[in-house]
Structure 1
């Protein structure tokens, strides 16, 4: 059961998934997210009003991304530092509305993208990226697009690395049920497995030209 006591600030991914009516939803780095397939832009937009009403009822501030082929609804993690206790109630209400409107949930389309910027231990490149991208700082090491459209950034110092050598890699967050399939597809497309010691939380793989990518599902299963 989800802890709905007044002093509960956040809930875990497991608590979210254990709630009723949330089978359409997954947890990725951008938040609790669902994708509902639509037949047209008008069809996708039909979910905005009931989703807005559910958000107001449950005190949630969701992001709603309307496209001709789908509508994406997410509850961002940044505002509360985790999953809001009311998120399951909101998610269930949105799913019910989507069902009435003939919008089909597609959990396989859920994903989010993070860019990890490796920097020398004596460098601090976050101010540069905040300025050049117009991002907002989050905590001591991260940065986000104020409108939560573009990928978020995390800055990781590498002790002992060579100065003036910037490096980045991608973290692709996907539902736990789809992670192995995404890894298999990447390897079949010429990728190389670098490290699977943390699987199924995440796999580190490399492109044919050695670009680093982590395929991560741990947020969707975090207890």
Structure 2
């Protein structure tokens, strides 16, 4: 391996996107990500070896999700580095390998989902969720699946809320160029716009029975 992730300085999502040749990729809360469509598991698996070779060359530790429908490749942020400096180089190599295999990138399918657990200000529910889900602590307020398969959790107090009442909503991170379409689709499906004062960074929506979903695009543009 030519480099190690720990030796790389971090870059922002905007810096990543300014690099040439990364048009297949978008940045969500789980880092730069690309989805390459496939027609079979065999076809999808053919991309694994080139991804591994690119990772070794660039000192990147990616997550690779192989399905019959395609391959998801992510570069998860690793504290305190964030997005590794050579992530763009890695992305270019992977995209080139996918094209050589006639696998087409589909940025519209890129997303990551987080669960925002709101708790009464006098409660600490994180230990319960850590135990129940087998998650690990991340920082002072969050929790993550150690294998990054399940959605990350964020725990935040609700000042002045009623004791013994928890509230939870989903954070759905999508590419910036897909966010408005996702919001429109959710509203057309019966949702309600609860707050758009932070758009286009994120929109707060509510389901017909008032469950919360935030559609967030800021991770794809933050500089």
Using the size of structure 2 for normalisation, the TM-score is: 0.95
1:79 Cα deviation after fit: 4.5
Write the distance in 1 (CA, Å) between the matches of 2:7 and 2:35. 31
The residue number in structure 1 matching 2:3 is none
1:30 Cα deviation after fit: 1.4
Write the distance in 2 (CA, Å) between the matches of 1:187 and 1:36. 28
Write the distance in 2 (CA, Å) between the matches of 1:216 and 1:81. 22
The residue number in structure 2 matching 1:104 is 104
Write the distance in 1 (CA, Å) between the matches of 2:159 and 2:166. 13
Write out per-residue CA displacement over residues 82-131 of structure 1, whole angstroms, 9 at most, x where no aligned residue: 21111001111100100101110000000000000001112111111000
Check conservation: 2:54, 2:93, Cα contact below 8 A: yes
Check conservation: 1:9, 1:80, Cα contact below 8 A: no
Write the distance in 2 (CA, Å) between the matches of 1:113 and 1:78. 18
The residue number in structure 2 matching 1:157 is 157
Q: Equivalent residues in 2 for 1:30-45 (5 A)?
A: 30-45=30-45
Q: Equivalent residues in 2 for 1:111-122 (5 A)?
A: 111-122=111-122
Check conservation: 1:169, 1:212, Cα contact below 8 A: yes
Indicate the RMSD between aligned Cα atoms, in angstroms: 1.3
The residue number in structure 1 matching 2:60 is 60
SS of aligned partner of 2:164: coil
Matched, 1:91 2:91: yes
Write out per-residue CA displacement over residues 164-208 of structure 1, whole angstroms, 9 at most, x where no aligned residue: 111100000000000000000010010000000000000001000
The residue number in structure 1 matching 2:130 is 130
In structure 2, runs of 5+ residues without a counterpart are 1-5
